[in-house]
Amino acid sequence: MLCALALSLSLAGCGFHLHQGPGFAFDRIAIAPHPGGAVAQELRRELSRSVTVLEPGDVAAQLLVRIDHEQSEKTVVGINAAGQVRELQLRYKVRFAVTTPTGEERIPETELRQQRDFGFHESYALAKEVEEAALVRDMQSSIARQLVRRLAAIQDVR
C-alpha cells in the first residue's frame, strides 16, 4: 500500500500524464462525401471524439474536409523461379482538401499514401486474404490519423 502511494506520488511529480488527443481550433467540421469511403468514415470516428461532425452543406460547419479520391492497389513485387507470386505490395492513396464554408483553402489538395509489403504463398491463400484485409484497414486508419494531425495544425478557421 505504501509502495503504491509512493509510486503514484513519484509519477505525479515527474509530470507524467496520459496521452490526450490533439486540440483543434474548431469545434464543428463537415466531411464530404457522406458517407464516403473507408478513410472518410474512419476520419468521422476519430474526429467525433473531440468535435461535432456535421453533414456536408451544414451551414454551422467551420471547416469542410473534402475527400476527393480513395484508391487501393495491389502489385506483385516478387515471384519465384516457377513464376509463382511470392510477395505483394498494397498501396492506398487518398486525395483531400480542407476549406472553410466560404471556400477559403486551409489545406490545399494533398495526396496521402501508404504502402505495405507482404509475403504470399498459394497454400495459405485464405489466411493471406485475411492478412491483406487487415493491412488495408491499417493503412486506412493510418491515413485518417495523419489527416487528424493535419487538421489539428490548422490555427485559423475564420
First to last CA, the chain: 53
Domain 23-152 in CATH: superfamily?
Lipoprotein like domain (3.30.160.150)
Q: Which amino acid is at 63?
A: L
| Cell numbers placing 113 | 499514401
- Domain ranges, ordered by start, for the chain: 23-152
User: Tens digit of pLDDT per residue, the chain (158 long)?
Assistant: 665 656 565 655 566 655 556 788 899 999 999 888 999 999 999 999 999 999 998 989 999 999 999 999 999 988 888 888 889 999 999 999 999 988 899 999 999 999 999 888 777 777 888 999 999 999 999 999 999 999 999 987 77
Q: Which amino acid is at 127?
A: A
Cα separation, 156 vs 103, in Å, equals 14
Closest to 113 measured CA to CA, from 148, 74, 63, 72: 72
Sheet of 105-119: strands edge to edge?
Answer: 52-54, 28-32, 63-79, 85-99, 105-119
| Cell numbers placing 112 | 496521402
pTM above 0.95, yes or no: no
